[in-house]
Structures are given as C-alpha cells and as structure tokens.
Amino acid sequence: MPGRGLGSDFYNCQEWLKEKSLPPLTFLVLKKQSGRPSDEGRYNGRKFGDMNDEEIQVMQESCFSYEWSSKVLKALGIEGPSPED
C-alpha cells in the first residue's frame, strides 16, 4: 500500500546500505506531519514507530557524521566535490 513503511525502493536502498556497512539514510526520510520516519519502516527488525526520539536522532546523526569518502559516493553513483570546492 503506498505511503506505508519504506516501500520497496527505500527498503532495497536500506538493505544495500546495510550490506555495505553504511549509515541508514532511510532515517532521513521524514513525514511532514510528525518530523519522524514512517512508523511502519523497519531497521534491524524494529519498527521505526517503536523507536523513541533519541534512538531516531542517533541514527540520523550517524548519517550526518559519517565520512562520505569519494569512494563511497562513487559506489552510490554520486559525484563528490571537486578538489577546488
């Protein structure tokens, strides 16, 4: 059903990130009304809705603080900043 959980594309993205030991970027996709990820989404077997705000914040901070090297960005198909940036 659309609008519930992560949906197949985000779920596949999350699983790929987990395989590569990368932070769970799916925690950054928020519902406008609550400012939280979908309650139905899951990470490591737990629903996002069962996580408290602090747990969500820790997962989000892991995404922001991760050192996204050019190698990781290339694996994601993203061009990193040029050396002069």
Domain that holds residue 23: 7-75
Does residue 55 lie within any of the structural domains? yes
Number of domains into which the chain is organized = 1
pLDDT band at 82 (very low <50, low <70, confident <90, very high): low
85 pLDDT exceeds 70?
Answer: no
SS3 77: coil
Please report whether residue 42 resides in a domain: yes
The two beta strands, 46-47 and 42-43, are antiparallel
pTM assigned to the model? 0.71
According to the model, what pLDDT value does residue 4 have?
55
User: φ and ψ at 84, to 5 degrees?
Assistant: -80, -5
Instruction: Give residue for tokens 């970027």.
Output: 25
Residue length of the chain: 85
Q: What per-residue confidence (pLDDT) applies to 3?
A: 47
Residue 35 maps to a domain = yes
